[in-house]
Structure 1
Amino acid sequence: MNKVVLYIALMSLSIGAFAQNKFELNIEVIDAKTNTFLESAEVIIEPCQCGGVTNAKGIFEIELVEDDYKITVAYIGYRTEQRNIRLDRDRFIRVEVNEETEELEEIVLSAKSLMESIESPQMGALYINTLVMKKLPAVAGEYDILKSMTMLSGITNSGEISNGLSVRGGTLDQNLLLFEYAPVFNATHLFGLFSVFTPEAVSSVNLYRANIPSRYGGRSTSVLDLRVANPFVEKPQIKGSLGIVSSHLSVQTPLIANKLYLGAHSRVGFTDFLLPLFSKRLQNSKANFYDATIKLQYLAGVNDQISLTAFRTNDFYQLDLISKIDNINSDINQYDFSTSNYSLNWTHSFSDDAYLKTIAVNSLYNPKTIFPDNASDNEVVYSSSIGYHALHNEYNKTVSDRFKYYIGQQSILYDLEPGTLAPGSSLSVTGVQLANEKALLVSPYANMEFAFSDKLRTSIGMRFNRFELDADDFESNATDELELNTTYYGAEPRLGISWNLSDDSSIKMSFARLHQYLQNIYNSTTPLPTSRWKLSDAIIKPQSSNSYGLGYYKSLRDGEVDFSIEAYYRNSANNLTYKPGTDFFLEPRIQNEIIQADGKAYGVELNLAKTQGKVNGWVNYTYSRSFLKSFAEKLGDRVNNNKWYASDFDRPHILNATLNLEGDIYNTWSFNATYQSGRPYTVANSIVDIQDLTVPIFIERNNSRLRPYYRFDFSWKVKYGKKVNRRWVGDWTFTIYNITGRKNPFNLYYEQRQANLNTEVFLDSPLGSYELAVLNSPILALTYNFVFD
C-alpha cells in the first residue's frame, strides 16, 4: 500500500512538471438563490475549446496558460452565465446561476459534448441535452426520450412498437438502462409508443457505447444512464401538460429552507379511444398506464448530500387473443406489468477534489399475463418477477488537471421468479411454478485518466466480475453435478486514447470488453414486457463482447458546428437465439431450447450538427451490419445451417435529419426526417399440405427484408411570455407524426390468402404473406404545457 501511495505521489510530482508557465483556475458554480453547489454543471472555456463539469462540491479545476478567456457555465433548468477573465495568476471564480423557468431560446452546446468530441479520451459517448430533445416532434405530442434517441446515429429499434433501443446492432437486452442508478427492465408504455420516464423528471441522458467507463457493467453492448432532476428551488414550482393521450404534473418545492427539497413527477394515460385509429386489429383493445418519480434531496452539511428516489410504473392493456392455455375458453389476453425502484445516494466530499459515493438500490419488475375465462369469472394468471438488490461504493480523486482516477465496487444480488401459473378456481388447469434463480455478482473496478501532454490523453480502466449462481434453486432440474456449481469470472479491460491534432480537432481509439449474465429470451420481433429473463448457468454461458473504435472529431466555425466520424467493430460470443419451432411458455428446461451463437457487428457513423443560433439541428448517416452464427452440433438445432445470417437488428442504412427554426420568442418549428433499411425477416422456403392444412417450411433465417422505413414529422410550439405579476406561463405544442401516413411495415405474417389480393410469395398457393403496419396514418396532437411558480 505504501508503494502505491509513493507511486501516486511521484506521478503527481512528475505531472506537475508539465504545468510550467500555467496558472490554476478554480470555478465554483452555485444556485444564486439557495447558495447550494451544483454538481455536474457544464463549463466551456474559449478560445482553448476546453471544459468539463463541476464535481460534487460544484467546483471545476483546470490549469491554463496566461491568456484572456471566455467562460460559459450551463446547467439544466438554469440560465446560462458567461464571464470574461484575464488569467495572469491563480484565480478562484464563483459563478451564481439563476433558475430558468422557460426553455432556452438557443441550443447551448454541452460542455460534455465538446469535451467528448475534441479532447476527452471517452469515445462513442452521447451526452444529450434534454432541452434539445424536447423540441423534437413526438407521437401524440408527448416528448419521449427513447423515441427521440432513435434520431441519433447508431441507435434504432424494431419498429413503431419496440420495447427498448438497439445500439450498434445489439439486441434490446444488451443495452443496460439505468434510471437514477436502478435498472429498468421494461422501459416503455403502450406497446412501446412511449418511454416510462416522465419528461420533467429527467435531468441528464448519457449513452456509452465504446470504451464504456469501468463503473458500468452487466451488459454486452451499451449503457444508457438517466438521472433524476435535483429539486433545488427557492419556492414551490409546478409544471405540467394536458394532452390527448397522456397528461403529466411535476412539483418541486423546498421542505426545509436550504436543507431538504422535494421533487415529485407523475403521468397518466388513457388510450382506449385512440387505439382503433392506429390499426383495425386494435378495435377491441384497451390500454392505460401511469408512472411516478419522487426524489428527496437533503443537504446534511457542507460536505454531505443525501438523496432518496422512488420510481413506480404500471401498465395494463387488453388485446384479442394472442396466446392461450388449454382448457381455458378465453378470447382476450390481458397484460399487467409494473416496476418499483428505490435508490439511496450519499455523497461525502473530503475536499474540493475528492469525494465518496455510496449507492443502495432495490428494484422489482413484475409482469403478468391474464387469461379471463369466458365461462366464469375466473382468471388464470401467469406471472414472473425480477428482483435486483445492489450496493455500490466509489471513491473519486482529481490529483491535478492531468491526472484523476476512481476506484469502486458494485455488488448485485439477482432474484428471479421465471414463471408461475395460478389456475385460480379452475379445476381443469394445473398450477405450475418454475424453479427460482438467484445469483450474486461482485465487481471491483478502477479507472484512471492521464494526460501525457497537451495533445495526448488516455483513459485506462479495469473491471473484474465474479458471478455465482445459487445451486439450491436448481437441484430439482439439474442433470449433472456441474450445473449445481456454476461460477464465472470475467476481466473487463477498458481503454480510450485521444490525440489532439489541433485546438479544434482530434482522433480517438477505444477498446472495451464486456460480459452479460442476465438475458431476455424471446422468439418474436421484439420482446414483450412479459418475455422471460434468464440468468447464466452451466449450459447458458455468459455473453461476452470485444468492441473496437476509431474516430475523428472536428469543431467548426468557433464551435458552432460539430463534425464527427466513428468506425466500430464488435465481435461477441454466446449470443442467445432459439431453436426452430421453440415455445418458451412455462418451459422448465429452457436451457434445452436455447442455442448460443457467435456475433459480429461493424459500421461507420457520420454526424454533422449545428448547435447554436436560431436555425439549428443535425444530420447523421449510419452504415452498419450485424450478423449471428450458431454452432449447434445436431442438424435439427442448427440455425441457418450454422452459417452467418443477418440479426434482427441488421439495418445497413440509416439517415436522420432534424431542423429547428426559432422565428421569434413566441414561435418554434421543428422538422424530423428518417430513413432506415427494412428489418430482416424470414421467408418460408417452401410449403407442404398436411391433412388439408397448408404449412410453411422455414430453413433459412432472416433471408429477406421488409420494405424500407421512412417518416416525416412536424411540430409547432407557441410560447407566451411571462407577464408582470403573473405566476402562470403556458405554451401550446401542435405535432404531426408520420405526415405522409406511410404504412411502415412492422412485421410479416402468413395466413390463408385473401381474395383478389396479391402477395410477394406463394402466388399459386392458398397461403399468403401480409405486412402488419402499426401506425398507418398521420397522428395529430395538441398539447398544453404550463409552469406555475
Structure 2
Amino acid sequence: MHATPRYWIIFLLSLSVAALTGQGTSAVLVRVTDAETGVPLPYVNVQIANTVIGGLTDDDGVYTFKFSGRATVMVSAVGYDQRKETVDIVRSDTLSFPLTPVAETLATVTVSSNDASQRLERPLMGVERLSMQEIELLPVALGEVDVFRGLQLVSGVNSAGEASNGLSVRGGTIDQNLVLLDGAPIFTPTHLFGLFSVFTPDAVGSVDLYRANVPARFGGRVTSVVDVRTRNPTSNRLRMQGGIGLVSSRLSVEAPVTKDQRLKVLAAGRVGVNDFVFRAFERLKNTRSKFVDGSLKLRYTPNETDVWTVSTFYSRDVYEIDLLNSFAGVVAASNQYDYATHNVSAEWLRLINESLSLQSRIVRSDHRPRVNFPEVGSDNIVRYDSRIQYTSLRSGLDFQPRPGHRLSGGVQLLRYAIDPGRLDPGTSTNVQAATTAREQAAEVSVYAEEEWKPHPTLTISAGLRYTRFLQLGPGQQRIYPDEDRLDGSYNSVVDYTGGQTMASYGGFEPRLGLSWQFADRSSIKAAYALNRQYLQNIFNSTTPLPSSRWKVADNNIRPQMSQLFSAGLYQVVGEGAVELSLEIYFRRIENLLEYKPGADFFLNPTVESDLLQGEGRAYGAEVGLRKTSGKLTGQINYTYARSQNRVTGSNLLTTINGGRWYNGYFDQPHTVNTNFTVDDGRTHRVSLNLLVQSNRPYSIPNGYLAIDELSVPIFLERNNARLPVYHRLDLSWTIHNAGMTKKRWVGDWTVTLYNLYGRKNAYNIYYQPRTSGQDANVFGNSPLGSYRLTIFGAPIFSLAYSFKFE
C-alpha cells in the first residue's frame, strides 16, 4: 500500500488556510518563565480553579486552553513560588507568569498535575507522559526506580520478559521502538539482563510515549517512540539527592556554575555491583554483574532569548553467565558481555519573538558491544566486538500565530556507521580471525505539522514527513537469482566506492489526528499514521542480546513500513479526578523481518541469505480507568491485543507455518494491569501492582529424529504453543522522615517486595533429548524432555534509602 502525497499536501494546505482565517474568541495562552532569567519553564503545572481544565506547559513553557468568563489561574512548579491570578476572559489573550525561585523552602514539594483536559482536547492518540514522581511510586524488581517499569503500566505496553532487553508495544518487536535520550538513540536500553532501563533516575525530567499517530518530527521506527528528556538544572544553589540500595547506589548534584547563575549544571550517576544478590538464586549463583550509568547537563542562558544546553550520557554493563559454549570454534566456560553507550547532545533554542522560536540540535551516539570467551584450559580470551555510530542534525521552527494554533516544521540529517562484528582470537590457534564489512547509510528528512481548532469542540493535528534513505559505499552489493536467496549463492557482485549510493528508499509519511469534544467531559478521537524503518535488529531468539546484529536496508532487505488506524473514547468523571478511556487500533506491516530455520547471524558475511520478509498485523482494544487525586490514586487497565505474522515463499525453507498467519513473538491477547497507591500526605506511602497476562508464544517440536541413538527434536512450525499465564503481585512501602522536613537533609526509606506470593512464572520452556531412564517418573517413555525456565520463582526483598539535600 502506498501513500499519495499530492492529496495529503492539498489537504494540509486547505486546512491551514481555514485555520489561519478562523476566529477563536476564548483561546488563552499561558506563558511561564523564570522571573530572574526570563527562561521558559517546561513541564509546569497549570490549573484553572474549580474546573477540569489543566495540564503541563510544553518545552517552550507554553500551555493553551479555551475558556470564557472569570477564571482563577494557578501555576506551580518545584523550586518556585506558586502564582495565582484571577482574570476576566472575554477574548483571546496571552497571560504571562514569571515564577520566582524559592530559596528558603527546604521541605519536599510534591506537584500533582491534572491533565484531564489535555487528554480530552489533544488530537494525538496513544500519547502518555510520565514524570519521575509517578515512576517512583512503583514497586519494581530489586527496588530500582525505573522508566521502563513505569511505561509497562500503560495499556498495550508489555515487558519482553523478566530478563529481556526492552519493551513490546502493541505486539511489536523490541527493535520497532525508537528509544531516545535527549534526541540520541539508545540501542541497548537495559541493565542487568533487561531487569531495568539504563536511564539515570535522578536525571530524568520527563518520559513521553507515542504509540499511535507519532508526531512528524520523529521517524525511523514502525511501532512507537519513547522520548526521554533529562531534566533542566534550575536550582540557584547547591542541591543534592541520591540513594543507597542493595542493587545500586546513586547521587546527583545540581548547582549554578557562574555568579550570575546563567550557567547551571546537573550531574547524576548510578553504580551497581550485584554479584552477592545472585548468590541467593540457585540458577544464578555463578552469575556476575556490575553496571554504571551517568548523565551530565549544562544549561546556559546568556540573555532572555537564547538557551544553550549540552548533555552527555554514559552507560556500561559487564556481566558473566556460566554457560558452556562451543561458539565459532571457541570452547568457553562462560560468556562475558561488556557493552557501553556514550551519547552527546547539544541544543540551541532561540526565542525570536513571543510566537516564533527556532530550535537546533546535534547528536552523536556511540554504542560498543563486546563478548569475551575465556577459553577452557587457557588464559587466552577470544573477543567479539561490534559498533554502531549515529550522528544527527535537526533544526526546526515552532510558530504560534495565535492561541490555540501551532505550526512547526524542520529538517533532519542523520548518518549511520555500523561495524557488524569482528572476532579477535588472541593467542588461540583453533580460532580464525574474522571481520564483517562495515555498513554506512544516511537519511534526509523534511517534516511539517500543524495543530489547530477550526471549531471550539474540534481539534486537528496533521503532519507530513518525507524521508530519503541512502545506503552508502564503500561496499559490495550481492545480486541473487530470486528473492528467496535459497542457498546463499548469488549471481554477481557489484563493487561501490566511498560515497556512492548502493541502495535508496523513501517516501511520504502522513500523520493525522482528530479530537471532537462532544460534551464538557467527553471526547472522541481518531488517528492515522504511516511509518518506515530503515535500521533493523537481527536476532533469532525471543529477544535480542546486547551483541545482536544491526543492519541497514539494502538491495536485498527492504525497509519495514507500517500503517496504523486507531480511534478512542475518553470520559472525565466528576471534577476530573477519575478518567475513563477506550482505544481500538489496527496496524499493518509490510516487509516484516523474519529468519530461516537454522539461521546463524554471527559473523555471517551474507546475512541476508538467512533472512525472510513477510507481513504482519496487530489489532486490539485498550480500556483504562484512572484516579489521579486524593489519598488513593491508581489505575486499572485491560488490554486485548493480537499480533500475527505471515511469511510465504516458494518452498519449505522460505515459508513459515505453511504460509498461514501465525502468532507473533509478543502476541499476548489478554493483559490486566492494576496499580494503587495510598499516600497519607506526610509519612507513609504504600503501592501495590498486580499484573495478569497471557504469556507469549513459543515453539514445541512436531516430532523427533533419531541420530546415533540420540533423539533430536524437529520443529516444523513456529510459535505453535503458549507459555502458562503470567501473574505477579508487587508491594512497595515508603516511609518519609517527616521530622526532618524543615532541615536541609530529608530522607526516605523504601521497602519493596517483588513477586510477593512467589509465583514461578515460566520465562521459557525448552526441549532436550533424554538418556535412558532419566526423569522417567515425569516423562515416561518419551524420547524428549521438556523443562521450564523460571528467572524469579520466589519473593524478592529489597531495601533502599533515598535522600535530598539543599
TM-score bracket relative to the smaller structure: over 0.9
Correspondence for 2:99 among 96, 104, 118:
96
User: d(CA) in 2 for partners of 1:109 and 1:392?
Assistant: 31
User: d(CA) in 1 for partners of 2:586 and 2:112?
Assistant: 32
Mapping 1:470-481, distance limit 5 Å? 470-474=472-476, 480=492
What CA deviation, in whole Å up to 9, does each residue of 1:478-520 have, x standing for no partner?
A: 8546896310012100000111111211000000000000011
Shift of 1:43: 2.5
Shift of 1:664: 4.5
Corresponding residue of 2:369:
367
Corresponding residue of 2:307:
305
Correspondence for 2:266 among 258, 263, 266:
263
Corresponding residue of 1:593:
610
1:15 paired to 2:16: no
1:433 to 1:326, Cα distance in 2 relative to 1, 3 A:
closer
User: d(CA) in 2 for partners of 1:694 and 1:653?
Assistant: 36
Correspondence for 1:573 among 586, 590, 609:
590
User: d(CA) in 2 for partners of 1:10 and 1:192?
Assistant: 49
CA contact 1:669–1:716 (8 Å) conserved in 2 = yes
Correspondence for 2:599 among 571, 582, 595:
582
Structure 1 unaligned spans of 5+: none
The AA in structure 1 aligned to 2:302 is: A
Correspondence for 2:326 among 324, 327, 333:
324
Task: Report the 3-state secondary structure (helix = DSSP H, G, I; strand = E; otherwise coil) of the residue aligned with 1:474.
Answer: strand
CA contact 1:101–1:787 (8 Å) conserved in 2 = no
1:423 paired to 2:425: yes
CA contact 2:269–2:293 (8 Å) conserved in 1 = yes
User: d(CA) in 1 for partners of 2:327 and 2:574?
Assistant: 64
The AA in structure 2 aligned to 1:374 is: V
User: d(CA) in 1 for partners of 2:617 and 2:324?
Assistant: 33
The AA in structure 2 aligned to 1:269 is: G
1:210 to 1:645, Cα distance in 2 relative to 1, 3 A:
same
Shift of 1:79: 7.2
CA contact 1:707–1:745 (8 Å) conserved in 2 = yes
Corresponding residue of 2:389:
387
CA contact 1:303–1:350 (8 Å) conserved in 2 = yes
1:157 to 1:217, Cα distance in 2 relative to 1, 3 A:
same
Corresponding residue of 1:246:
248
User: d(CA) in 2 for partners of 1:700 and 1:72?
Assistant: 60
1:769 paired to 2:773: no
CA contact 1:563–1:608 (8 Å) conserved in 2 = yes
Corresponding residue of 2:719:
702
1:41 paired to 2:44: yes
CA contact 2:273–2:290 (8 Å) conserved in 1 = yes
1:483 to 1:68, Cα distance in 2 relative to 1, 3 A:
farther
The AA in structure 1 aligned to 2:520 is: D
1:525 paired to 2:527: no
Correspondence for 2:343 among 341, 352, 357:
341
CA contact 1:415–1:436 (8 Å) conserved in 2 = yes
Shift of 1:30: 3.1
CA contact 2:710–2:769 (8 Å) conserved in 1 = no
CA contact 1:343–1:362 (8 Å) conserved in 2 = yes
CA contact 1:81–1:97 (8 Å) conserved in 2 = no
Shift of 1:12: 6.5
Shift of 1:429: 1.5
User: d(CA) in 2 for partners of 1:391 and 1:267?
Assistant: 29
Corresponding residue of 2:446:
444
Corresponding residue of 1:274:
277
User: d(CA) in 2 for partners of 1:579 and 1:416?
Assistant: 23
The AA in structure 1 aligned to 2:310 is: L
User: d(CA) in 2 for partners of 1:31 and 1:321?
Assistant: 56
Task: Report the 3-state secondary structure (helix = DSSP H, G, I; strand = E; otherwise coil) of the residue aligned with 2:766.
Answer: strand
Task: Report the 3-state secondary structure (helix = DSSP H, G, I; strand = E; otherwise coil) of the residue aligned with 1:541.
Answer: coil
Corresponding residue of 2:758:
741
User: d(CA) in 2 for partners of 1:502 and 1:399?
Assistant: 27
CA contact 2:39–2:304 (8 Å) conserved in 1 = no
The AA in structure 1 aligned to 2:420 is: P
Provide the aligned length of Structure 1 versus Structure 2: 776
Answer with 666-675 or 25-34: which moved more. Answer: 25-34
Corresponding residue of 1:165:
167
Correspondence for 1:128 among 123, 127, 130:
130
User: d(CA) in 1 for partners of 2:579 and 2:456?
Assistant: 21
1:9 to 1:122, Cα distance in 2 relative to 1, 3 A:
closer
CA contact 1:48–1:503 (8 Å) conserved in 2 = no
Shift of 1:329: 3.7
The AA in structure 2 aligned to 1:396 is: D
Shift of 1:404: 1.3
The AA in structure 2 aligned to 1:719 is: H
Task: Report the 3-state secondary structure (helix = DSSP H, G, I; strand = E; otherwise coil) of the residue aligned with 2:641.
Answer: strand
1:627 to 1:483, Cα distance in 2 relative to 1, 3 A:
farther
Corresponding residue of 2:117:
114
1:736 to 1:102, Cα distance in 2 relative to 1, 3 A:
farther
User: d(CA) in 1 for partners of 2:121 and 2:628?
Assistant: 18
The AA in structure 2 aligned to 1:742 is: R
Task: Report the 3-state secondary structure (helix = DSSP H, G, I; strand = E; otherwise coil) of the residue aligned with 1:132.
Answer: helix
Shift of 1:31: 3.8
What CA deviation, in whole Å up to 9, does each residue of 1:398-451 have, x standing for no partner?
A: 111242110111111000000100111223221111011000011100001121
Shift of 1:765: 1.8
Shift of 1:147: 1.7
Identity rate, percent: 39
User: d(CA) in 2 for partners of 1:512 and 1:577?
Assistant: 23
1:610 paired to 2:618: no
Corresponding residue of 2:150:
148
1:666 paired to 2:669: no
Q: What RMSD in Å do the two structures reach over aligned CA positions?
A: 2.5
Task: Report the 3-state secondary structure (helix = DSSP H, G, I; strand = E; otherwise coil) of the residue aligned with 2:301.
Answer: strand
1:503 paired to 2:510: no
1:786 paired to 2:770: no
The AA in structure 1 aligned to 2:744 is: R
1:678 paired to 2:686: no
User: d(CA) in 2 for partners of 1:15 and 1:758?
Assistant: 79
**What TM-score comes out, normalization by structure 2 length?**
0.92
Task: Report the 3-state secondary structure (helix = DSSP H, G, I; strand = E; otherwise coil) of the residue aligned with 1:300.
Answer: coil
Corresponding residue of 2:238:
236
1:264 to 1:77, Cα distance in 2 relative to 1, 3 A:
same
**What TM-score comes out, normalization by structure 1 length?**
0.94
User: d(CA) in 2 for partners of 1:595 and 1:337?
Assistant: 28
Correspondence for 1:637 among 654, 662, 681:
654
Shift of 1:37: 3.1
The AA in structure 1 aligned to 2:437 is: A
Shift of 1:58: 3.2
User: d(CA) in 1 for partners of 2:56 and 2:328?
Assistant: 59
The AA in structure 2 aligned to 1:274 is: V
User: d(CA) in 2 for partners of 1:625 and 1:26?
Assistant: 42
What CA deviation, in whole Å up to 9, does each residue of 1:305-348 have, x standing for no partner?
A: 01000100000011112543355342111110000000001000
What CA deviation, in whole Å up to 9, does each residue of 1:110-130 have, x standing for no partner?
A: 43x631x20111111111132
1:487 paired to 2:490: no
1:262 to 1:529, Cα distance in 2 relative to 1, 3 A:
same
Correspondence for 1:462 among 461, 464, 486:
464
Structure 2 unaligned spans of 5+: 1-9, 480-489, 497-501
CA contact 1:627–1:650 (8 Å) conserved in 2 = yes
Shift of 1:379: 1.2
User: d(CA) in 1 for partners of 2:79 and 2:723?
Assistant: 42
What CA deviation, in whole Å up to 9, does each residue of 1:373-409 have, x standing for no partner?
A: 2333221111111110000011000111242110111
Corresponding residue of 1:212:
214
Answer with 566-575 or 92-101: which moved more. Answer: 92-101
Task: Report the 3-state secondary structure (helix = DSSP H, G, I; strand = E; otherwise coil) of the residue aligned with 1:592.
Answer: helix
